[in-house]
Amino acid sequence: MPRFTPYAASTTRRTFLKGATALATGALATPFLNRRAFAEPTEITMLAWYGHAEPDVVAEFEAEHNVKFKSKYYTGGDNMLGLIAQSPPGTYDLILSDAEYVQQLNAAGYIEKLDPADYAFDEYFPEFQQFPGHWSGGELYSVFTRFGFLGVAYNTDAITEKEASSYRVYWLEKLKGKVGHFDWHLPNLGQMSLLNGNASPYDIDGNAWEKVKETTMSLRSQVGGFFDYGGTFSSLENGQMLSVAGIGDWITGVLEKNGAHVRTAIPEEGGLQWTESFSIGKGSQKADLAKKWIQYITSARGQVRSANMAAYPAMIPNKKGWELLAKETPEEAKRQGMLLGESNVMDLIRGGRIKYRQLPVQQSLEDWNDFWSDYKGS
Amino acid sequence: MSDFNRNPLIDWALKLYALLAFAFVFAPIAASFVFSFNEDRFPSLPLGGFSTKWYVAVATDPLVWEGLQNTLAVGLTVSIVATALGFGAAYTDFRYRFFGKPVYLALALLPPTIPVVILGLAMLAFLSRVELSGHGYSVMIAHVVMCAPFAMAIIRLRLSQMDPDLEAAAWNLGASEWGGMRHVILPFTRPAIFAALFITMAVSFDEFAVAWFVSGLNETLPVKVLGFLQGQVSPRINAIGTFVFVTSMVLVILAQVLLMKRSAGQDVVADDKE
Amino acid sequence: MRKSITLYGLTFSLPLLVWQLLFFLFPLVFLIALSFWTVKNFRLQPDFDTANWVRMYGREVFWQAYFLTLALAASASVIASVLAFPCSYAIAFKFSETARRWSVFLMVIPFFTSYIVRVYSWQVFLSDNGIINAALAWVGLGPFGMLNTTFGTMIGYLTLSFPLVVLLQLFSLMFIDRTLIEAAHNLRCGRLRTVFEVVIPSAKVGLVIAALFCFILTFGDFVSPLYLGGGDPPTLSILITDTTKSGQQWPRAAVIALTMIATLLTVAFAAIGYAYRGRGR
């Protein structure tokens, strides 16, 4: 390298570098001290939405198996897929994704086949034992761990419960410029499809698809913005948006706990269900450990942690998990409607009020997405 | 410049305007500082109680420290390498004319024009094929590519203010090319080299989109900030922001003091500032 | 001017060339190739198919976003340049040596605080119940909708580019030969006329480069239009993200990216050509 760095710069920089390194190592060493007392923990990698590998969820498992989670959080399923596609196989041992992406991960061959006998599906509610998106050709590729509903998210100071009981609330005059969209075509267009009365919102013929487009377009003048996760959070919280389409308790629940006046209602036209599940990455060197983790997080103990996850709350598919949750954190079980022996979320599902969010069946995913871009641009 | 044209009113108006400009630049930083001590999770008026819990949360998160260490290592290396490369390119453009120069310049200036999301994917695709992805140095490689053009532009700008005959004069006085570089070019471009070091380091400190893709599991701090922001909107981002701000302020002030001491001690050759 | 290839010359010219050839050219070529690939079963397949280009260029929303982004970035460059100039001018000519030095350092500071944190922070100022509207309400005005508007996007763009524009302008203003200005004054040249006929032409290169960097930064930025502009209407950078959401459509995103690169290159070479026109070298 050519030498032209001025003398003064190199000295300052050197001292600065030294100081910075000392500072950083000193600080780094502290949190690791107690763990060093035992054997070096095995490292296992997880690719997930934010929060899934935070201490409130993984600490117990880490201690029991002398494991250390190394996490990578993504902020969108498509970036996640792109990342996996271009990374060396085996980079990620565990992959948490939504059911729609499990289908894509599987079709592209990025995840391992699993043995159903390894997991406690018999503890699950019957309707969750063979969740469609997680199985392919009779084989299991992903284990269901948590779910939630999407409906009308609204500001309780501005909108009444009655108004929020239909998707038509988005068209109210007082919400002009105050309706936000969570920026992803699937949940939004699914809600429009439900409003149009389609029994299977994602399995619709050409005619019904045209009608969905029409309904959606008529909403455009009400819309104040299209937001990602963070944007949705803050615009609901600071009242910039009074209602947001395409989300549910996974956002409003967190806000509610922090004192914001927002809530999600499942309207009479029905709600949508999102689902998260764990898969083992193709080529993982620690598949055994990964399996142990999935077993843990889908057991009653792990499910309770999952339901109470600090980052965002969710419902759990394991019935034994419900029982334990009622004992350990009854308020949260109550808030989320997961108490056995009274009206609960399973009744909503069994009453046909809830449809799975999924990839469009009769149209291609591109058609839906292209329409969404057109909608945003119009 | 003492002459009839000096009007104190206009001088003060201009100075006031400059102060307003600083206010605009520092307003979001100040707000972030204030809200980092706010008890509430979400920033809104009126303020909640005073709390340092977000600092505690950041300070006790080993992943943040790991990210910070990566960021510092990457930022320092990137600023030095990118400034060196950028200096070379700027000098080449200033001094030489050769076949294919437009291509050379295009290669030197193209990177910042590529949208980061897709540059990230393309970089990862390449680096993982040559087994250079997923490390701290992967981010470094990518950031040098992205930062060198900034360094080049800043240094080239300074060179364009130099009289090209100055270097030739040095040669005529018997200096070698290397000597001319040392005694004419380097002193003359010194302020620009410093600026380039700072700016490239800063660009690297702040880059998260490409880093998200190529860093794999060895993430830098900005990638984590992105997670805090998009994943859960936590005031921790304000705490980290304030911490980084205060640190860089301290460094800048230190550098200032050191520089002033130095320039007081000896006269700098071609510093043509009055 | 010596022209032969020497070790001396290569020492300075080669490192950048080698680095960019090694670590940049391939990703760039990959990007071009990618735009001809196809997607089957959510997996990218090497291919040579112009379908992505045909489909993207045939879409109205693409051109809409294109011209919107172009207009936004051009406005940002003009606004930033005009707003920054009096500030750089004051720092360069009205501040004392010490104040000037501090000003430069202060303008560098924002680069060290995360852009995304600063943008997020602006939300507190701009929202309907935010600081600015609260202040306006106090004097009986407003409220004004600023968040999720083009105004918001512009504030974000300025947050991103303003300090850099000031610094680059300052760099060229600081080193203007002051005897020129004194000469103008001695010739009884008016204040404004001096600025327009002496200062600006002398600092032209820096002013144009500053505006160019502002254009480059804002043209590709997605943070401001998303967090302060509410993503409505979408810019090209947002459209790129959108496009990938149809099951790994990175090839079509590559088409958008390449179009952006071509546009920026054209603008950059035009600007540089303009900046150096009429100069000796």
Task: Kindly state whether residues A364 and A231 are assigned to the same domain.
Answer: yes
| Summary mean pLDDT of chain A | 87
Q: What is the largest CA-CA distance in chain B?
A: 71
pLDDT of B74 over the 50 cut: yes
Q: List the subunits that have 3+ CB pairs under 8 angstroms with A.
A: B, C
Interface of A with B in 187-226 (CB under 8 A): none
Band of the pLDDT at B272, cuts 50, 70, 90? very low
Q: Is A60 among the domain residues?
A: yes
Neighbouring C-beta atoms of residue A329, cutoff 10 Å: 15
Please indicate, yes or no, if residue A3 is contained in any of the structural domains: no
Domains contained in chain C, number:
1
C71-80, C98-107, C249-258: segment of lowest average pLDDT? C98-107
Strands (E), B137-233: none
Give residue B212's pLDDT band: very low, low, confident or very high (50, 70, 90).
Answer: confident
Q: Which chains touch B (3 or more CB pairs under 8 A)?
A: A, C
Q: What is the pLDDT of residues B231-242, one digit of tens each?
A: 666 777 788 878
Residue C279 pLDDT grade (very low, low, confident, very high; cuts 50, 70, 90)? low
- Across A36-40, A128-132, C191-195, C211-215, least confident range: A36-40
| B86, B180 contact by CB (below 8 A) | no
| Residues B138-155 pLDDT 10s | 899 999 999 999 899 889
Are A255 and A365 contained in the same domain?
yes
Q: What is the ipTM of this complex?
A: 0.87
Name the residue in chain A with its Cα closest to that of B256.
A12
The angle, 0 to 180 degrees and rounded to 10, between the axes of the packed helices C236-244 and A365-377 is: 160
Does position A99 have pLDDT exceeding 50, yes or no? yes
Contact predicate C203/C91, CB 8 Å: no
What does the pLDDT look like over B164-190, one tens digit per residue? 788 888 888 888 888 888 888 888 888
Answer yes or no: is C9 within a domain.
Answer: no
Q: Give which of C159, A185, A286, A149 is closest to B23, Cα–Cα.
A: C159
Strands A223-227, A179-182: pairing kind: parallel
pLDDT, average across residues A130-136: 89
Question: Based on the domain organization, do A328 and A232 belong to the same domain?
Answer: no
CA distances from C177 to B157, B206, C180, C191 (A): 15, 36, 6, 17
pLDDT at B256: 66
* Number of domains chain A contains: 2
Which residues fall within 8 angstroms of residue C158, CB to CB, at 6 or more apart?
Answer: B24, C76, C79, C80, C83
Between CA B268 and CA A6 the distance in angstroms is 12
pLDDT at B51 over 70: yes
Encode pLDDT of A364-373 as tens digits: 988 999 999 9
If asked whether residues A217 and A331 sit together in one domain, one would say: no
Q: Is residue A365 part of a domain?
A: yes
Do A118 and A168 belong together in one domain? no
Q: How far apart are CA C96 and CA C76, in angstroms?
A: 30
* Bigger pLDDT: C59 vs B7: C59
Residue A37, domain member (yes or no): no
User: Is residue A74's pLDDT more than 80?
Assistant: yes
For residue A373, report the phi and psi dihedrals to the nearest 5 degrees: -65, -45
Per-residue pLDDT for B92 more than 80?
A: yes
**Tens digit of pLDDT for each residue in A154-199?**
999 999 999 999 999 999 999 999 999 999 999 999 999 999 999 9
Q: Which residue has the higher pLDDT, B17 or C98?
A: B17
- Token pair 């054209």 in the structure block, residue: C266
Indicate which CATH number applies to the domain containing A61. 3.40.190.10
Q: Could you tell me the residue range of the domain that residue C272 belongs to?
A: 60-276
Q: What angle do CA A59, A61, A66 make, to 5 degrees?
A: 95
Q: Roughly what angle, to the nearest 10 degrees, separates helices C115-126 and C150-174?
A: 130
Residue C223 falls inside a structural domain: yes
Nearest of A265, A268, A221 to residue A245 by alpha carbon: A265
Which DSSP state fits C198?
I
Q: Look at residue A349 and tell me if it is in a domain.
A: no
| C136, two tokens | 């306006």
pLDDT band at A13 (very low <50, low <70, confident <90, very high): very low
pLDDT in tens, C104-154: 888 888 877 778 888 888 988 998 888 888 888 888 887 888 889 999 999
The verdict on a CB contact (< 8 Å) between B96 and C13 is yes
Are residue A136 and residue A154 in the same domain, yes or no? no
- How much is the mean pLDDT over chain C? 87
Structure tokens at A189: 């267009």
Are both A162 and A258 inside the same structural domain? Answer: yes
Task: Give the range among A31-35, B227-231, B254-258, C26-30 with minimum mean pLDDT.
Answer: A31-35
Contact indicator for C178, B1 with CB cutoff of 8 Å: yes
| Cβ-Cβ contacts under 8 Å, C6 against chain B | 177
Residues A162 and A134 in one domain: no
Burial of B41 (0-12, 13-18, 19+ CB in 10 A): buried
Structure tokens at C143: 């409220």
Amino acid at A346: M
In a domain, C101, yes or no: yes
Backbone angles phi, psi at A223, to 5 degrees: -80, 130
Q: What's the CA gap between B99 and B114, in Å, rounded?
A: 26
Give me the total of CB pairs closer than 8 Å, taking one residue from chain B and one from chain C. Answer: 289
Q: Residue C3 pLDDT > 80, yes or no?
A: no
Chain B partners within 8 Å of A255 (Cβ):
42
Average pLDDT on B183-208 reads 85
Residues on chain B touching A311 (C-beta within 8 angstroms): 231-232
**A178 and A98: one domain?**
no
Q: Which helix (H) or strand (E) holds C38?
A: strand C38-40
Q: Can you state the angle between helices C97-108 and C150-174, rounded to 10 degrees?
A: 140
Helix (H) or strand (E) holding A149: strand A143-155
Which uninterrupted H or E stretch holds B26?
Answer: helix B8-36
- Give the span between the Cα atoms of C245 and C18, in whole angstroms: 36
Nearest chain C Cα to B142, which residue? C23
- Chain B CB contacts of C109 under 8 Å are 29, 245, 248-249, 252
Identify which of A30-34, A258-262, B159-163 has the greatest average pLDDT: A258-262
**Position C49 in a domain:** no
CATH topology of domain B62-265: MetI-like fold (1.10.3720)
Residue B223 banded pLDDT, cuts 50, 70, 90: confident
Burial grade of A323 (CB within 10 A; 0-12, 13-18, 19 or more): middle
What's the whole-number mean pLDDT along residues C217-243?
Answer: 89
For residue C67, give the CATH number of its domain: 1.10.3720.10
Amino acid found at A303: Q
Contact at CB, C121 and B14, closer than 8 angstroms: no
Query: Which of C151, C242, C243, C256 best tests the A interface by mutation, with the highest count of A CBs <10 A?
Result: C242
C104: in domain: yes
Interchain pair A13, B76: CB under 8 A: yes
Q: What is the 3-state secondary structure of A83-123?
A: HHHHCCCCCCCEEEEEHHHHHHHHHCCCECCECHHHCCHHH
- Which residue, among B274, B12, B22, B256, has the nearest Cα to C94 in the 3D structure? B12
Minimal Cβ distance to B112: which of C103, C216, C237: C216
CB contact under 8 A, B17 and C3: no
Give me the pLDDT at residue C106, please.
84
A152 and A236 in a common domain: yes
Q: Is position A14 within any domain? A: no
**Contact yes or no for C60 and A368 at CB 8 A:** no
Characterize A44-80 residue by residue with b for buried, 16 or more Cβ atoms within 10 angstroms of its Cβ, and e for exposed: bbbbbbbbbbbeebbeebbeeeebbbbbbbbbbbbbb
Range of A77's domain? 42-141+275-340
DSSP secondary structure code for residue A40 in this structure: P
Strands A94-98 and A139-140, bridge-based pairing = unpaired
Partner-chain contact C109 B158, CB within 8 Å = no
Alpha-carbon gap: B86 to the closest alpha carbon of chain C (Å):
7
